[in-house]
Amino acid sequence: MNALKNKRILIIGFVWPEPKSSAAGSRMMQLIAFFKENGGKIMFASTASESEFSEELYEVDRKQITLNCTSFDEFVSELQPDLVLFDRFMTEEQFGWRVAEHCPNALRMLDSEDLHCLREARRLTVLKNKPFNLNNDLAKREIASIYRCDVTLMVSEFEIELLQSHFKVPSFIMFYLPIWMGNETLNLPSFEERSDFMFIGNFLHAPNHDAVVYLKEKIWPLLFTKFPEAKMHIYGAYPTQKIKSLHEPKLNFYVHGRVDSSFEVISKARVLLAPIRFGAGIKGKLLEAMQFGTTSVTSEIGAEAMNGNFLWNGFITDSPEDFAEKAIELYQDKIIWVKAQQNGFEIIKNGFSKDLFKDSFKEFLTDKFKNLEKYRNKNFTGLLLIHHFLQSTKYMAKWIEEKNKA
């Protein structure tokens, strides 16, 4: 049975997807492709403006929506979707109560991308030297959003365990669905055909910004001193002036900015360096490195929830000195490099292949659609939060709407 065939699916995007800019954009395009493949009729809506880098959404209807406006109520009432996917918890906060009021029978699904409260707690610890506090204000909003939805898609098994153990979130309102990789055979350059170190990432994402600054200031001086022939290439969308200022050819440190094809730059490099000091979820750059046969050196947080019981496709370390030494060793020793490359292929095959998830996801959705009322009654905390959130947010939104008319 195909639970999605002819179902009306509304996706409320935090932004319009940019798969060439970020892993979040690639993730959204994967979900859209999955729904389309299974016969869903998709409407993508967002309050954000499209950019020149937004992906063309073929066979997908599009709608520009407005915050705190009854025009959304009219739109969603007429559409009457069977499933509403909220892209990150902030969109559920903005539109979840309207969906619950006007489309009470629609399956409400949250795509978390990563656990924002975990990322924020780590950021404050690293950058502000504050004690690690997972019970922060962001967590109060994010966990409430998870409870209000019928299901939350999680990309990290570590975060699922954290939500269950720390916040007591019931397992039946979560589903593990990581970014998946294709099974196509790629013609990849050999060890000898590759050269240089590289990093790639969207610099609007704070962990990427911090990682490159940390790399340039703490790790690269150690690496370059021991290996002066080394070259480092930085790629990524939306580089800030700070990132651009790190460009220093005399130290073989090059900042290039946006690229059209991540495959082109990652597959030509021998080693990807990702000293990620805070963050959450799984890292798209590291998955692509594995798929494209590029080895990597990263941090414990960088590798979190990615390799399971398999060996990493390179090295994992949080010490700047060790990071530099391991990067050089991986770059120069072909035997170690080839073994690391194979480790990456194994991780992709056994942990991130689309074939591992497509059928179980369909079965999960079939069960949710069939037994939606039963699952909602099991999640009394969610019912309670929806009731109070609908009341408080509804009148706040109406107040803002009236204020905007003045």
Q: What is the reported pTM?
A: 0.94
Query: Mind listing the pLDDT tens digit for each residue in 30-78?
Result: 999 999 999 999 999 999 999 999 999 999 999 999 998 899 999 999 9
Assess whether 321 and 243 both reside in one domain: yes
Assess whether 273 and 286 both reside in one domain: yes
Assess whether 314 and 388 both reside in one domain: no
CA–CA distance, 323 with 296 (Å, rounded to integer)? 11
Structural domain includes residue 1: no
Length of the chain: 406
Query: Mind listing the pLDDT tens digit for each residue in 356-402?
Result: 999 999 999 999 999 999 999 999 999 999 887 777 666 666 666 66
**DSSP per-residue string spanning 93-142:** HHHHHHHHHH-TTSEEEEE-SS-HHHHHHHHHHHHH-PPP-SSSHHHHHH
Assess whether 211 and 153 both reside in one domain: no
Type of residue numbered 319:
S
Assess whether 163 and 30 both reside in one domain: yes
Assess whether 347 and 362 both reside in one domain: no
| Mean pLDDT, range 282-304, rounded to an integer | 97
Assess whether 393 and 366 both reside in one domain: yes
Query: Mind listing the pLDDT tens digit for each residue in 184-224?
Result: 778 999 999 999 999 999 999 999 999 999 999 999 999 99
Assess whether 152 and 230 both reside in one domain: no
Assess whether 42 and 162 both reside in one domain: yes
Contacts of 213 (CB under 8 A, 6+ apart): 242, 243, 246
Structural domain includes residue 25: yes
Structural domain includes residue 167: yes
Q: What's the confidence (pLDDT) of residue 394?
A: 65
Assess whether 169 and 235 both reside in one domain: no
Structural domain includes residue 188: no
Q: What's the confidence (pLDDT) of residue 406?
A: 64
The residue range of the domain holding 107 is 8-177+357-405
Structural domain includes residue 290: yes
Query: Mind listing the pLDDT tens digit for each residue in 339-350?
Result: 999 999 999 999
Give the count of domains, the chain.
Answer: 2
Percent pLDDT > 70 in the chain is 96
Q: Which of 183, 26, 237 lies closest to 111 in space, CA to CA?
A: 26
309, 332, 353 - which closes a domain = 353
Q: What's the confidence (pLDDT) of residue 1?
A: 66
Q: Which residues pair with 156 in a beta bridge?
A: none
Query: What token pair was written down for 227?
Result: 């290996």
Structural domain includes residue 85: yes
pLDDT exceeds 70 at position 404: yes
Q: What's the confidence (pLDDT) of residue 389?
A: 75
335, 353, 371 - which closes a domain = 353
Structural domain includes residue 220: yes
Mean pLDDT of the chain, nearest integer: 95
Query: Mind listing the pLDDT tens digit for each residue in 119-135?
Result: 999 999 999 999 999 99
Structural domain includes residue 192: no
Measured CA angle at 299 (ends 293, 300), to 5 deg: 110
Q: What's the confidence (pLDDT) of residue 395?
A: 65
Contacts of 83 (CB under 8 A, 6+ apart): 4, 7, 8, 9, 10, 40, 106, 107, 109, 365
Assess whether 135 and 235 both reside in one domain: no
Assess whether 167 and 215 both reside in one domain: no
Q: What's the confidence (pLDDT) of residue 184?
A: 76
pLDDT exceeds 70 at position 307: yes
Measured CA angle at 155 (ends 72, 212), to 5 deg: 100
Q: What's the confidence (pLDDT) of residue 191?
A: 98
Q: What is the CATH number of the domain that holds 349?
A: 3.40.50.2000
Backbone φ, ψ for residue 320 (5° rounding): -55, -40
pLDDT exceeds 70 at position 179: yes
CA–CA distance, 262 with 235 (Å, rounded to integer)? 9
